[in-house]
Amino acid sequence: MTASAISSLSAPAGGARQAIKANARPSSGFDAKLEATRALLVQAAAHPGAGGVTQASSLGAEDVVITHLINALALDIPVFVLETGALHRETLALLERTEATSRAPVRVYHPQHEQVIEFVRREGQDAMYRSLELRKQCCGIRKMEPLARALAGRSGWITGLRREQSNARADVPAVDTSEVASKGLTKFNPLADWTWGDVWHYIAHHDVDYNPLHDQFFPSVGCAPCTRAISLGEDFRAGRWWWEDEAAKECGLHVKAA
């Protein structure tokens, strides 16, 4: 898709903001949560280490909130996005808009082209549907290797993980030091105790640009082949790798070592 074609996919129109209409309901403690989040981001910006911290953004609802806060607080925290080569056009359009408007620098990391070509040549475009092993190989090439480059030399990173997202994330701490010994990284999760309603209340109140796929019942947005809309009553992450067992539904970015 050309840059002009991507640009033509504008931000969601006011009358079409179904995600805001359906979800923007803050919890009773939202104001206190917001203040704690701001304080944690300030703490993250001052985290010791030559490389400093960076925000990992998938351009999902949580991540656009964090980027907005980083910009509003004028923090010296760069943002990175993993452009896997398999993102929805709506996500690519939001990436272009974010690069154009963000005060914080936005760096895009791509997978190694030769590795992608070789994997697709060997296993086919639909390899991820054939086995968990092949799906994880695809995630390794398109996400994990670029992530390693994005975090190289950093002392920490900021994510949009929330405890409400899934059972696997139910114990997410605001500050996670479990990677310090193995990777030298502190992980900051400033929205850990936010609800989905909190996220959308912030987006609505501050008129934050977001991925229009959220208006089409995509609460979680990843690569196009591995993401679908969910139905009423389905789990929040039911649209991610929906053909797999629930326990397997992570790409590896946020899986702790045993």
pTM: 0.87
Alpha helices in 73-159 (DSSP H): 89-101, 113-123, 132-139, 145-151
Per the CB < 8 A criterion, the answer to whether 54 and 154 are in contact is yes
Query: Strands of 175-176's sheet, edge to edge?
Result: 106-109, 79-82, 53-57, 156-158, 186-188, 175-176
The confidence score (pLDDT) of residue 169 equals 66
3-state class of 201 per DSSP? helix
138 marked as part of a ligand binding site: yes
The confidence score (pLDDT) of residue 3 equals 35
Beta-carbon contacts of residue 6 (< 8 Å; ≥ 6 apart):
89, 92, 93, 96
Per the CB < 8 A criterion, the answer to whether 151 and 54 are in contact is yes
Per the CB < 8 A criterion, the answer to whether 62 and 191 are in contact is yes
Catalytic residue among 251, 252, 254, 258: 251
The per-residue pLDDT string of the chain (258 residues; one tens digit each, 9 = 90 and over) reads 333 333 333 444 444 689 999 999 999 999 999 999 999 999 999 998 889 999 999 999 999 999 999 999 999 999 999 999 999 999 999 999 999 999 999 999 999 999 999 999 999 999 999 999 999 999 999 999 999 999 999 999 999 999 987 676 678 999 999 988 888 999 999 999 999 999 999 999 999 999 999 999 999 899 999 999 998 878 877 888 888 876 655 544 544 544
Beta-carbon contacts of residue 212 (< 8 Å; ≥ 6 apart):
9, 11, 12, 16, 90
57 assigned to active site = no
Rounded CA separation 118/65 (Å) = 36
The confidence score (pLDDT) of residue 10 equals 41
Count the Cβ atoms, other than its own, within 10 Å of residue 1.
Answer: 10
Q: What ranges do the domains of the chain cover?
A: 18-111+154-247
The confidence score (pLDDT) of residue 166 equals 63
The confidence score (pLDDT) of residue 253 equals 52
The confidence score (pLDDT) of residue 50 equals 80
The confidence score (pLDDT) of residue 9 equals 39
The confidence score (pLDDT) of residue 45 equals 97
Domain 18-111+154-247 adopts which CATH fold?
Rossmann fold (3.40.50)
The confidence score (pLDDT) of residue 247 equals 61
226 marked as part of a ligand binding site: yes
Identify the bridge partners of residue 121 per DSSP, sorted by sequence position.
none
Rounded CA separation 258/256 (Å) = 6
* Residue 129 C-alpha from the chain's centroid: 22
Rounded CA separation 34/47 (Å) = 20
Q: Say what angle helices 30-45 and 196-206 make with each other, to 10 degrees.
A: 80
The confidence score (pLDDT) of residue 136 equals 94
Rounded CA separation 96/165 (Å) = 27
Indicate if the alpha-carbon torsion angle 61, 21, 27, 34 is positive or negative.
positive
223 marked as part of a ligand binding site: yes
3-state class of 16 per DSSP? helix
175 marked as part of a ligand binding site: no
